[in-house]
Amino acid sequence: MLMRVSRLSVAYGPVKALDDVSIEVGAGEIVSIIGANGAGKSTLLKTVAGILKPLSGAIVFKERDITRERPDRIVKQGICMVPEGRRIFPDLTVKENLELGGHAVRGRALKRALWSMVLDTFPRMKERLAQHAGTLSGGEQQMLALGRALMGNPEVLLLDEPSMGLSPLITPEIFSFIKTINAEKHISIVLVEQNAPMALDYSNRAYVLETGRVVLEGPSGEVKCNPAVVDAYLGLEGE
């Protein structure tokens, strides 16, 4: 396994947000995390990224324990996060946002290669390099957030609600980009997403979180057919 989260527990003060959570991410996989609001999905990603520190448990990436590492060191080791709401810098240009994403990367040749890769993947960003990021559409801002993370040269991308705030017409385009990043760039992806049908369609394996605990896991196709998942998250599909 490329990354293993073992028996992770996290709390906000007296409230436990994750309770004994374990997940695995293999090289080249897309792993989706689905669940209701407040289930602990974003908390899981923030803990893997080093933003939150756990009460107990371990996070191992490429056989190295990164549980207590600082976020900047985790990025340098190859794990980058696209946060919920994108969190781009609206007053900076597209070019400046992308350059910030690659600030920790060493070596001019690698930076040039990453720059070319990002602009090839998101040609619309190439057209808008001088434009202030805050003037982009929601879909374009999500592309920029993905591109900024790719500039960090990740082996694992943590995506927190990439479809949030996007129209139903734009969402499939963003998921198509996610699939391309995974398939062509060989980057593993952990996908937290409220749009459960889309997440399960685009991922290899899935975990279902309920009140901070993993209640179901398996191949995404099998999870999608589970009656409890259908009732809780996919019921509208059949209407």
If you ran DSSP here, which 8-state letter would residue 63 be given? T
- For residue 16, the SS3 value is strand
Dist CA 36 CA 28 (whole Å) = 26
For the domain spanning 3-238, the CATH number is 3.40.50.300
The span from the CA of 67 to the CA of 59, in Å, is 5
pLDDT in tens, 27-54: 999 999 999 888 999 999 999 999 999 9
Close Cβ partners of 202 (under 8 Å, ≥ 6 residues apart): 30, 32, 175, 178, 179, 191
| pLDDT tens-digit map of 91-150 | 999 999 999 998 878 888 998 999 999 998 898 899 999 999 999 998 899 999 999 999
Secondary structure of residue 13 in the 3-state scheme: coil
How many whole angstroms from its chain centre is CA 183?
15
Alpha carbons 196 and 48: distance in angstroms, whole number:
21
pLDDT class of 235 with cuts at 50, 70, 90: low
Contact (Cβ atoms closer than 8 angstroms) between residue 191 and residue 33: yes
User: Which helix (H) or strand (E) segment is 150 a member of?
Assistant: helix 138-150
Domain boundaries of the chain, sorted by first residue: 3-238
Q: How is residue 152 annotated by DSSP?
A: T
Mean of the per-residue pLDDT values of the chain: 91
pLDDT exceeds 80 at position 86: no
